[in-house]
Amino acid sequence: MPEAIAAVAPAPASALLRRILALAAPTSLVALLQVGAQLAETWLAARQGTAALAGWAVVLPFALLLQQMSAGAMGGGVVAAIARALGAGRREDAAALVLHAVLIAVTAGGVFALALAGFPRAVLGLIAPSAVEAGAPYAAWLFGAGAVPAWLANTLASVLRGGGKHALAARVLALAWLAYPPLAWALAEPAGMGLSGLGAGFALVFWAAALAMAAVVLRGGAGFTPTLRVRPQLALFRRILSVGLVACALATIANLTTILVTAQLARHGAAAVAAYGIAARLEFLTIPLAFGVGSALTALVGRAAGAGDWTAARRTAWTGGLLALGVAGSAGLAVGLAPGAFANTFTTDPAVAAIAARGLSYTGPAFGGFGLGMALYFAAMGAGRMRGPVLAALARIGLAVGGGWLLANPLSLGLDGHFIGVALGITAYGLITAASVRPGVWPGRG
């Protein structure tokens, strides 16, 4: 058992913070590389023109949903199930859970591929019909060739994190995110594939990552050897899905929020859709950063909960949550104070940049609370206590979509009203999630 996970309860706050940082550091490094790759992706999409950028923006919520479900949501369910099994001394269960996790990954990746590669025009047309022609070929490559390997790579990385091997998981994923931008550029521009080249590049790097991750896990990289010759058991699926399905539903709600706001903005034209794609990118860049801390919290809280030490579980959650609050709050405030600089990084279209800057001036300062909520959401997965995050997600979509519509239309604030609604939703998400991490809920009733 790794020392960073073995003894949480007696540690003083400084030692606990060091344990969190020790596990968070490798995943945070991957998160920074992912952020860099996604910034490069935004830049590459913008180089293809405003129509292509709008097509990329309408696919963006589904692409991020794929990553969030496979790495953070169902991946968190995998981490939590394995960490709790190891915390309770059930190594045989941990070994058998690997096969169950892989079966879930293949099934879920297939659903993404069927829906978004098989029927891209029908799905994307529900959001922004004007962006369908640019977005559909990109979606076909991204999901048709890349959905299954992305799910497998992220699921197997979660197996390693559940065993406390965060650094090992990070090595493979770091190489994937380093390789993605130059490969995407080569396929998009020299090879002449345009926006579709970004999807093809994503698929290629994640096929390589999935194969490499499988080799690491099969040779015992998680601290135990997986048991693959075992009959699938409903009880073991339930250990993953009881957390993973709820987390996937929350990821769906989060991305549905972005989709519905995008649909509301579509009546303002392609420039507004493209601008919101840039403004929303700040949120999607914050998620991987929070995931660095959150992945450590899922494993540490899961071990503590598995051992029945709920005091240590709550202390660990709040220590990591406040760390995420500081990091995300600093980044959001910096963008909120200079929104034009952030927007102009991704587009040379002055109309798009102006709308994106307006949105960021409202949403940027709210991201401290968002980071706190995201970190405690991951901690809640480790604890198996998901009611608070569910209520927070519902409050967020209600304020962002319903509140934004009310401010924009009956109250005549226009585009500003939509962005204020998004900021209010983000703030509520953080506050409600944080309020749920308390003794009456952790442990509460199982």
Separation between Cα atoms, residue 64 and residue 390, nearest integer Å: 19
pLDDT exceeds 50 at position 173: yes
pLDDT at residue 445, rounded to an integer: 58
Angle, alpha carbons 153-183-258 (nearest 5°): 65
Average pLDDT, the chain: 87
The per-residue DSSP string of 240-300 comes to: HHHHHHHHHHHHHHHHHHHHHHHHHHGGG-HHHHHHHHHHHHHHHHHHHHHHHHHHHHHHH
What are the pLDDT digits (tens) for 188-213?
A: 999 988 889 999 999 999 999 999 99
Q: Regarding predicted confidence, which is higher, 11 or 188? A: 188
Mean pLDDT of 288-295: 79
Give CA separation, 342 vs 225, 249, 303, in Å: 46, 31, 40
What are the pLDDT digits (tens) for 356-401?
A: 888 888 888 888 888 899 999 999 988 889 999 999 999 999 999 9
Lowest mean pLDDT among 127-131, 201-205, 217-221: 127-131
Separation between Cα atoms, residue 371 and residue 376, nearest integer Å: 9
Mean pLDDT of 337-352: 83
Give CA separation, 249 vs 65, 253, 265, in Å: 10, 6, 24
Query: Taking a C-beta distance cutoff of 8 angstroms, is the pair 368, 428 a contact?
Result: no
Among 124-133, 261-270, 379-388, name the most confident range.
379-388
Query: Taking a C-beta distance cutoff of 8 angstroms, is the pair 200, 141 a contact?
Result: yes
Lowest mean pLDDT among 16-30, 92-106, 311-325: 16-30
pLDDT exceeds 90 at position 214: yes
Angle, alpha carbons 280-281-282 (nearest 5°): 90
pLDDT exceeds 60 at position 221: yes
17 sits in the region (left: phi over 0; alpha: psi -120 to 50; else beta) called: alpha
pLDDT at residue 5, rounded to an integer: 42
Q: How far is CA 226 from the centre of its chain?
A: 26
pLDDT at residue 11, rounded to an integer: 61
Give the position of tokens 């979660």.
158
Q: How far apart are the first and last CA of the chain?
A: 26
pLDDT exceeds 90 at position 147: yes
Phi, psi of 145 (to 5 degrees): -100, -20
